[in-house]
Structure 1
Amino acid sequence: MTSRVGDITIDCNDPELMATFWSAALGYRIFARDETGVAIRGATVSPDILFIRVPERKTVKSRLHFDVCPTDCGQDEELARLLGLGARRSSIVGSGSWIVLEDPEGNEFCLMSKRIPAEPAPFHDA
């Protein structure tokens, strides 16, 4: 027997803001929302990402973060696009192969230099 990650849940103050940012950053779509938060989904079997409203703000470095990779451009172009969407540079220094950024609520993520293929178009509405 094994398990799979079904959802990644992120506590946040503004689920709509976070879902909008991450949908644009990852090419996902918002597929559900209710009084607790907003959910986004990719085109394939990747886990859904849930943004759940909590009253407290982030206060320390995240212990879990996303590494995102450009799919159709270089790291510099993707950096400009993510900054345009609302990301900002972190005070945490990356290496030559990654840049540490923060999403609109200050959650760290890394923009990697390696490119990976884009998700394929869905063959059905997951």
Structure 2
Amino acid sequence: MACRISELILDCADPEPLARFWAEVLGYVELLREEDGSIEIGPPEGSGRRDLHIVLSVSADPKPAKLPLHIDVNPTDRDQDAELERLLALGARPADIGQDGTESWHVLQDPEGNVFCLLRGRIPA
């Protein structure tokens, strides 16, 4: 037997707008609101997707910027340039973490400053 990552917890100052952002980025829906103000998002029920859920958890001390663990995303139905335009329109911002410009990925920040990367390769939805 082995384990499967089922949830990623992301500390944030304001879960609601961050949940909306990540739900749009990933094609997720809001699944659950916890009494502590956390919001869980995941794939739509009945979609057959077994993607991990993301819990946006209220924290008085979120640590935005480049963390030891970050999220990579791949486009599913368009090329990297078109997906970059979509992510920027949703509120992502370019991030400079020392890349030299020759990378095949784009380094971005979500609306609270958490760094993530948009990779080039398209993967099936």
Please indicate, yes or no, whether the TM-score normalized by the shorter chain is above 0.5.
Answer: yes
Aligned to 1:73: 78
TM-score normalized by the length of structure 1 = 0.87
TM-score normalized by the length of structure 2 = 0.87
Q: How many residues align?
A: 118
Offset at residue 113 of structure 1 (A): 0.8
Residues 86-115 of structure 1: per-residue CA shift (max 9 Å, x gap):
000001226431010000111110001110
Residue 96 in structure 1 maps to residue 103 in structure 2 = yes
Q: Work out the CA distance in 1 between the residues paired with 2:56 and 2:102.
A: 29
Q: Work out the CA distance in 2 between the residues paired with 1:69 and 1:111.
A: 6
CA distance 1:14–1:96, change in 2 (3 Å): same
Residues 39-69 of structure 1: per-residue CA shift (max 9 Å, x gap):
0012411111100000013255211111101
Aligned amino acid, residue 9 of structure 2? T
Do 2:65 and 2:113's aligned partners in 1 also have CA atoms closer than 8 Å? no
Instruction: Please list, as runs of the form range in 1=range in 2, the aligned pairs for 1:54-69 lying within 5 A after superposition.
Output: 54-58=59-63, 60-69=65-74
Aligned to 1:41: 42
**Aligned to 2:20, what secondary structure does the other structure show?**
helix
Q: Work out the CA distance in 1 between the residues paired with 2:75 and 2:110.
A: 16
Instruction: Please list, as runs of the form range in 1=range in 2, the aligned pairs for 1:8-19 lying within 5 A after superposition.
Output: 8-19=8-19
CA distance 1:6–1:59, change in 2 (3 Å): closer
Identity of aligned residues (%): 47
The runs of 5 or more residues in structure 1 that have no matched partner are: 119-126
Residue 27 in structure 1 maps to residue 32 in structure 2 = no
